[in-house]
């Protein structure tokens, strides 16, 4: 169950990007609105990985490596090689050729758990720079949620369904024991053009192609029929994106001013 009108509910959970999430209500937020931001995605600039839902694998694979992280094997896209670095955000906006994950697009709205009532409550990040009193697009009109809020509610509802679908997808891969640990490595060039020592830039979980090939025919058919096989292939193809990410990092580094010698 979801709700957009409960203030003062006991909520739980910490969510990436949200500094001050509050249960949305006409009483607390009736005078607020949103104003177009000059740098709409500046809040993503200090994040190098962003969660992804399984139905986004195909479009996201054209831009980023899709990897799995942590004990939960959470699928994420890698947007930078180092913590606090996002190579796809330029001047507060995504590069024009970059896919924008739904996890980012739902901001400033998010669902939070109301454990007491066993439901989800629609929240808004009061810390968002573009959520201001008297904003151009109101959150409430005549005490009722505006079209903007209703759209946010629908988007979050859809996102929740995709999140659950993603959990089922990951659990299926776990049950079939398809994961393996992988590394992304970079081999720099020495001044004389020779290959330098390889450097590990990431360690993550990925689907093992060998384990996938070794599955019985009926298991492969199951993955094919439920659509998981296509998502697996999108994930595997996306791993070629590490080279693109490294190239972006080198390009950005070359543009950085060199500190003058003291």
Per-residue pLDDT band for 12 (boundaries 50, 70, 90) equals very low
Residues 6+ apart with CB under 8 A from 52: 60, 66, 75, 76, 77, 101, 103, 166
- Using alpha carbons, list the distances in angstroms from residue 9 to 99, 121, 160: 35, 8, 20
Closest to 243 (Cα-Cα) out of 185, 182, 181: 185
Highest mean pLDDT out of 45-49, 194-198, 258-262:
45-49
CA pair distance 159, 178, nearest whole angstrom: 26
Residue 257's pLDDT band (boundaries 50, 70, 90)?
Answer: low
* Closest to 106 (Cα-Cα) out of 27, 56, 160, 167: 160
Bond into 108 cis (ω within 30):
yes
% of the chain with per-residue pLDDT over 90: 77
Domain boundaries, the chain: 21-249
Q: Residue 258's pLDDT band (boundaries 50, 70, 90)?
A: low
122 or 261, higher pLDDT: 122
pLDDT band at 1 (very low <50, low <70, confident <90, very high): very low
**Nearest 5 degrees, angle CA 168-CA 57-CA 68?**
65
pLDDT at 255 over 90: no
**pTM of the prediction?**
0.87
pLDDT tens by residue, 171-225 = 999 999 999 999 998 877 777 777 778 888 899 999 999 999 999 999 999 999 9
What DSSP state is assigned to residue 240?
T
Helix, strand or coil, per DSSP, at residue 37: coil
Mean pLDDT for the chain? 90
What's the CA gap between 130 and 38, in Å, rounded? Answer: 9
In this prediction, residue 208 carries a pLDDT of 98
Q: What average pLDDT does range 223-235 have in this prediction?
A: 97
4 pLDDT above the threshold of 60:
no
- Coil, strand or helix: which one is 4? coil
Contacts of 256 (CB under 8 A, 6+ apart): none
Question: Residue 162 is encoded by which pair of tokens?
Answer: 């995709």
Counting every residue written for the chain, the total comes to: 262
pLDDT given for residue 103 in this prediction: 97
pLDDT of the residue at 192: 74
**And the tokens for 193?**
């053009």
């Amino acid at each position: 169950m979801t709700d957009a009108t409960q203030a003062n509910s006991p909520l739980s959970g910490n969510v990436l990007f949200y500094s001050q999430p509050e249960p949305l209500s006409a009483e607390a937020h009736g005078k607020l609105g949103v104003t177009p931001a000059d740098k709409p995605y500046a809040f993503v600039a200090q994040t190098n990985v962003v969660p992804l839902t399984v139905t986004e694998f195909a479009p996201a694979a054209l831009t980023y490596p899709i990897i799995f992280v942590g004990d939960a094997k959470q699928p994420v896209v890698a947007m930078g090689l180092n913590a606090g670095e996002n190579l796809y955000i330029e001047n507060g906006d995504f590069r024009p050729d970059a896919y924008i994950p739904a996890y980012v697009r739902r901001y400033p709205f998010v669902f939070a758990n109301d454990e007491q009532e066993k439901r989800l409550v629609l929240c808004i990040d009061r810390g968002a720079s573009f959520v201001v009193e008297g904003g151009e697009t109101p959150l409430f009109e005549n005490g009722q949620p505006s079209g903007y809020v209703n759209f946010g509610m629908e988007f979050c509802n859809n996102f929740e369904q995709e999140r659950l679908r993603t959990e089922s997808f990951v659990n299926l891969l776990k049950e079939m024991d398809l994961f393996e640990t992988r590394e992304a490595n970079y081999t720099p060039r020495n001044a004389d053009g020779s290959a330098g020592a390889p450097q590990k830039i990431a360690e993550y979980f990925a689907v093992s192609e060998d384990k996938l090939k070794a599955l019985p025919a009926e298991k492969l058919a199951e993955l094919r029929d439920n659509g998981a096989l296509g998502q697996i292939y999108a994930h595997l193809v996306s791993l070629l994106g590490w080279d693109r990410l490294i190239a972006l990092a080198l390009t950005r580094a070359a543009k950085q001013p060199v500190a003058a010698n003291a």
